[in-house]
Amino acid sequence: MTQYGIVALIAAVLTFVLSVIVRKVGVRYRIHPQIRDRDVHTTPTPRLGGIAMFGGMLVALAIASQIPFFSLVFAQPVKIWVLVGAALLIVVMGVIDDLLDLDWMIKLGGQLLAAALLAWQGFAIASLPIGGLTVGSAWMSLALTVFAIVFVMNAVNFIDGLDGLVSGVALIANSVFFLYSYLLAQEISPFNYFNLASLLSAIAIGICLGILPLNSRFGDKHPARLFIGDAGAYLVGLLMATSAIAVTGQINPVQLSTSFGRASLVPAFLPILLPLAILVIPFLDFALAVFRRLRAGKSPFTADRQHLHHRLLDMGHSHQHAVWIFYAWTAVISVGSLLFFVVRPWIWALAVILVGMVICAALTLAPLSRRKAREAAAQSTPYRDDTEVEAAAMDPLDEHADLVGIETGAIPLPTGGVPVQRPLRTGRPTDTDRKTEENLS
């Protein structure tokens, strides 16, 4: 695992250094788009973080190719070059989209082309770890692979709306998937457990970790200084989809169950369930967005301000709280799914997921509870018309008592009620005051 840690650390350091340089260039030459209606931030910010992440990935791959432990991973250099080419294609397209706002059909075409290149050169789903199910034909394998890669890229991009959201969620998800692929490789191939899936996950961890310092928000006065943009989101989604396909299409569920000695269906389903579990939040947001837009007669790629992170802000969560809630949901579901692989009996993994989901749900709905409590307190406050308060304040005999009562809270004011402030009478009473008192007596 040390070698994977070295690669991840190199990717993190290079990404951070490049992100600082890219940000300075973007700020100096004002390479940033105008603020849109759906944007949460209020200050123009460069969206060039994807360039730094791509640079970190390239350097990490180059150094990993020189490490003897990864010799089998680079035994087929054509696959690595195709991966780099596909990543370059979506990064260039993403940067252009961040600056010029490309039409959704152009973006979809670029995504399909990048996914087809990967599927053409061996990153394809040839079998599914469900009872040894084999994909029927090469064309079906190509179509299924392209769909999976495009789906993951867009799902990751759809949640990119808050500072540090995608990079943090991807960091958690890739960390869990790395542990899974590493442990799985140790069980299946104990003499050589260096594989492409774990390497891509380690690189994804590194580039997400390296971009976080500039991409995160540190309090209301310190928002993100650099966004990853569509380029960064597409790149992360591409790496996650490719690593998942590299594992899922190479697992024999019979061998997996036999190697662990478990007469259970859970291990057999894990290779396909875990990649879905670690991205359940992006998948949910993507599905809801597509359904919402199609029902409105719009394109599925039409931008709006109704994503899950927007709804959390509308509920009353702060910017940071909304991001942390996404982190919490991702961690609970990802770690809980991994526990099915390492904990026996698996009922304990299920218990961890259920308890974690209850806690996350309570944190998510907390602003609604506070809002209802404030509404109930406001409704229970005795109401007194403004005219009554004003009349009491104007009464010459009760002037002093009523003003004191209003100031001390003895006389409640309705919401928005403002008493008429008259100066208290001082000195000797005037003739008008004497006549008023005589008439009243």
How confident is the model over 13-55, as pLDDT tens digits? 999 999 999 999 999 998 987 776 666 666 888 999 999 999 9
* DSSP state string for 7-64: HHHHHHHHHHHHHHHHHHHHHHTT--PPPPTT-S--S-----HHHHHHHHHHHHHHHH
Q: What is the CA radius of gyration of the chain?
A: 30
Give me the mean pLDDT over the 402-429 stretch: 49
Q: Strand, helix or coil at 107?
A: helix
User: Between 225 and 340, whose confidence is greater?
Assistant: 225
Categorize the per-residue pLDDT at 307 as very low, low, confident or very high, splitting at 50, 70 and 90. Answer: confident
What is the per-residue pLDDT for 428?
54
Categorize the per-residue pLDDT at 193 as very low, low, confident or very high, splitting at 50, 70 and 90. Answer: low
CB 240 within 8 A of CB 172: no
What is the per-residue pLDDT for 397?
47
Cis previous bond, 345, omega within 30: yes
Give me the mean pLDDT over the 109-113 stretch: 96
Structure tokens at 251: 């697992």
* Phi, psi (degrees; rounded to nearest 5) at 412: -70, 145
Q: Single out the residue of 210, 194, 234, 195 nearest to residue 91, CA to CA.
A: 234
How many whole angstroms separate alpha carbon 28 and alpha carbon 30? Answer: 6
Domain boundaries defined on the chain: 2-303, 386-440
**Model pLDDT for residues 316-338, shown as the tens digit of each residue:** 898 889 999 999 999 999 999 88
What is the per-residue pLDDT for 426?
47
* Residue spans of alpha helices (H) in 159-195: 165-188
What is the per-residue pLDDT for 400?
47
How many whole angstroms separate alpha carbon 252 and alpha carbon 180? Answer: 15
Contacts of 152 (CB under 8 A, 6+ apart): 237, 238, 240, 241, 244, 279, 282
* Phi, psi (degrees; rounded to nearest 5) at 48: -105, 15
* Phi, psi (degrees; rounded to nearest 5) at 370: -65, -35
Judged against a pLDDT cut of 90, whether residue 63 lies above it is answered with yes
User: Between 268 and 353, whose confidence is greater?
Assistant: 353
Categorize the per-residue pLDDT at 430 as very low, low, confident or very high, splitting at 50, 70 and 90. Answer: low
What is the per-residue pLDDT for 173?
92
Categorize the per-residue pLDDT at 377 as very low, low, confident or very high, splitting at 50, 70 and 90. Answer: confident
How many whole angstroms separate alpha carbon 129 and alpha carbon 134? Answer: 9
* Phi, psi (degrees; rounded to nearest 5) at 134: -110, 140
